[in-house]
Copies of this chain bind each other. A is one copy, B any other.
Amino acid sequence: MSATPDRTACADLDAADPLAGVRDRFVVRDGLVYLDGNSLGALPLQTPSRVAAAVEQEWGQGLVRSWMDAQWMDAPVRVGDKLARMIGASPGEVVVAESTTVCLFKLICAGLAMQRGRTVVLTEEENFHSDLYVAAGAARLCGGTVGVVPRARLLDALDDRVAVVMHTHVDFRTGFMHDMRGLSAAAHEAGALALWDLCHSVGAVPLQVNADGADMAVGCGYKYLNGGPGAPALLHVRSSLHEALRNPIPGWLGHAAPFAFEPSHRPAAGLGSMITGTPHILQLAALESGVDLWLEIDMAVAREKSIALGELFIQLVEDRLDNAGFTLASPRDPERRGSQVSLVHPKAYGIVRGLIERGVVGDFRAPDICRFGLAPLYTRYVDVWDAVERMGNLLSDGDHLDERFAEKVAVT
């Protein structure tokens, strides 16, 4: 490891950063070190006017005609096609709908139905809790069960009862990144479908879902994609499964002829059948804006920067805060790490809250994790330096032990 960089060295890295100019395309308050883009991505500068156009021109002036004239009707598929380019899928293999949890519900039910004779949804206990909740709910309704096993034992549990293996690609707590290709292949070898949650991957790491064998996937619109609070989710299914696919929540917008008012549901062609109700047009406008910005970016360059930010963060913590009681929760190997650094500390909650007061926004994940997202489009090397600097000051001042942090209030 090289010598500990100082702030000037970090500023030099920013000056040489090929993505430096991209930061200017986001709203980031002066002085704020925002390391929570993995929870809610920052606002692209171009987004307010695009949402305003959807509200004032398309809704206000175009009114109901905008379903056709402003292509509202196509929005879930159009934005899905753009997302397909980001995740290595083909046009027609991604749509946008509801939330990741509702989309997971649809895919788990559909997966169980496609895998007759197999009833188990297998996942790891380290998975995001909402994924565990909805898997249990979906399996209950679909006559299946959920197998929840420790990560290290998942492959042992992969037998011929397993219909679907569900993984979150990048662990929300630690940033640990699974081997999508290897685990998908293992699922296929056992006759199971590979379902991937890309919430902490899309916009964070390069993705090639088709090449890596993902059968189905969901992903979040409001984290690294910068699609705004409550952005709808991406839902991916590889095309060879489309014909067998059945939406467990069939609705008019997924009908082959929504305005024919047929008494029975006749699914739309392809993935359109997975749409249920009226698309959330205003959220889609914001999401499309974030995705459009991403499509101008070379993901390999973004990934390179993200790794460099992570390496810098870890080095600064290890060099400058080596007696502060932190343990690295994220993988040391950058190839296995998403775009975040997580640190375990017994006073993690107080540290995160104290840092927020000092203008560094990360978040706390129970029971003892400080989590710092390193969104490569708007995070600078000096932000990482300032975060570690202020964390050091906080710890030496002891503010993180303040009694106002005794009761843990949710930090999203």
Which residues of A are interface residues toward B (Cβ below 8 A)? Answer: 27, 29, 34, 36, 39-40, 42-43, 47-48, 51-52, 54-56, 58-61, 63-68, 72-73, 98-102, 105, 109, 125, 128-130, 132-134, 136-138, 141-142, 148, 222, 228-233, 247-253, 255, 258-265, 276-284, 286, 356, 361, 363, 365-366, 409-412
Contact = CB atoms under 8 A, between A and B. Distances in A.
A189 to B, nearest CB: 28
B136 A250 contact: yes
Contacts of A105: 249, 276
A278 B229 contact: yes
A39 B64 contact: yes
A40 B60 contact: no
Number of copies of chain A assembled together:
2
B59 A40 contact: yes
Given A99-B278, A249-B101, A410 B42 contact: no
A12 B183 CA distance: 73
Contacts of A252: 101, 128-130, 133
Contact of A276 (B99, B260, B277): B99
A308 B259 CA distance: 30
Q: Max chain B CB contacts within 10 Å: which of A67, A148, A276?
A: A276
A229 B66 contact: yes
A29 B59 CA distance: 12
A68 B363 CA distance: 13
B43 A259 contact: no
A373 to B, nearest CB: 10
Contact of A263 (B63, B100, B129, B228): B129
A286 B232 CA distance: 16
Contact of A230 (B51, B65, B129, B280): B280
Contacts of A100: 277
